[in-house]
Each structure stands twice: as C-alpha cells, then as structure tokens.
Amino acid sequence: MFQALMNASGFFWSLAYLLIIWRGFKDQTYGMPLFALCANLSWEFIFSFLYPPAAPQLYINVAWLFLDVFIALEFLKFGRNEFPRLSPQQFYACFVLVLLTAFGLVLLVSQEFHDFDGVYAAFGQNLVMSMLFVAMLLNRGNLRGQSASIAVLKLLGTAAASLAFYLYKPVAQESILLPFLFASILGWDLLYAGLVYSFSRKTSGFGASTVP
C-alpha cells in the first residue's frame, strides 16, 4: 500500500508539472516560484543520481527532474517580465545563486539528518513551496500560470505521499517534525486551492479560467 500511495503521488505531481508547463506557455509566464523550482531541481537531481532510490521511485524522480527542467526554461524565458527592475545579468545571476543555495541546503540537510532517502528535505521544501504558491498568487492578483487543476493535483500529490509515510514508515511515525510538516502542507495547500477557486470566480481574463 505504501508504494501504491507513492505511485499515486508521482502521478498527481507529474500531471501538475505538465499543467504548470502548459499554463506557463499559454500565459507567457512561469508557474512555479523561483525557490520552489530550484529546491525541486536540487532534490530531484540529488535523489536521482547522488542517492538514487530503488525503482519505481527512481523513475518517478527522473521524470520529475525532466519536467522541472522545462519549468526552469519557462522561468528563464518569461521570468524577466516579472522582475523588470533587474537587468538580464542580475536576473540570471539570481537564478544561479538561488539554485546553488537550494542545492547546498537540500544536500546538507539530508546529510545532517542522515536522511539519504530525502524525506526531511522533501517535506520541508514542500511546505515552503506551498507557502510560496500562495504568496505568488496574492502578489500577482490573478491566475496567470496557475489553475484550479494544478492546485488540486498539487494537493493530492503531497497528501498521498504524506499519508504513505505517516501510515507505513517508522521515520515519520517516530518523528515529531514530519507529522507537523504533513499537516502544515495540507493546510497551506487547502488555502491555495480555496484562493485559486475564489480568484477563478471573481476575476476576468487569464484569471477567469478554472480549466487547466
């Protein structure tokens, strides 16, 4: 049952990534906050090549990395429009700096906790990502690059993984921190989904769409 839930998580998140890519090109913007994107790229690289898990999780991690590369390309292509005060050199330098910082953070947190499955790093960065999605939505004031489908798939993907670890893995059952992360992520994901739904009903143009 653990692997079934993890496979479901991989499926939901893969669909979310595909829709983020699609909406990004459709709306000519990026659909994932910068730090969340860099943390995802870092985690997926580290836990695909440096500390690879057994199949099928390895295949899921590699697939996520492949999809996140496309999301990163969208960020580099369209992101400058969101930061007009930065020169091109400053924009790209910020991207590289955030990526290096995220990579070091994920790697060192995993080593510090002797967590070579990436559990603490994964759920820790997932909480930050959930908060950043809310911040991105409120900052933009519309649904450019986002949709209700993305919000729901994102919620389901993390909820399935959280449930898998909570029910079946001692690392979560013996931890104080991980259950807190599970509950906090769910709370922020529900808030994000509710805000997306509210925006989709109240706004027009890009923000009016509730479809992918």
**pLDDT tens profile 54-86:** 999 999 999 999 999 999 999 999 999 889 899
pLDDT digits (tens, 9 = 90+) for 113-152: 999 999 999 999 999 999 999 999 999 999 999 999 999 9
**1: three-class secondary structure by DSSP:** coil
- Whether this prediction's pTM lies above 0.85 is answered by yes
Q: Residue 133: CB partners within 8 Å, gap ≥ 6?
A: 32, 33, 36, 146, 151, 154, 188, 192
Contact between 157 and 12 (Cβ < 8 Å):
yes
**Angle of CA points 6, 186, 149, to nearest 5°:** 75
pLDDT digits (tens, 9 = 90+) for 20-66: 999 999 999 999 999 999 999 999 999 999 999 999 999 999 999 99
Asked if the peptide bond before residue 56 counts as cis, ω within 30 degrees of 0, the response is: yes
Contact between 168 and 6 (Cβ < 8 Å):
no
Contact between 169 and 112 (Cβ < 8 Å):
no
Q: Residue 114: CB partners within 8 Å, gap ≥ 6?
A: none
Closest CA to 165 of 107, 126, 112, 132: 126
Closest CA to 7 of 71, 61, 68, 65: 61
pLDDT at 211 over 70: no
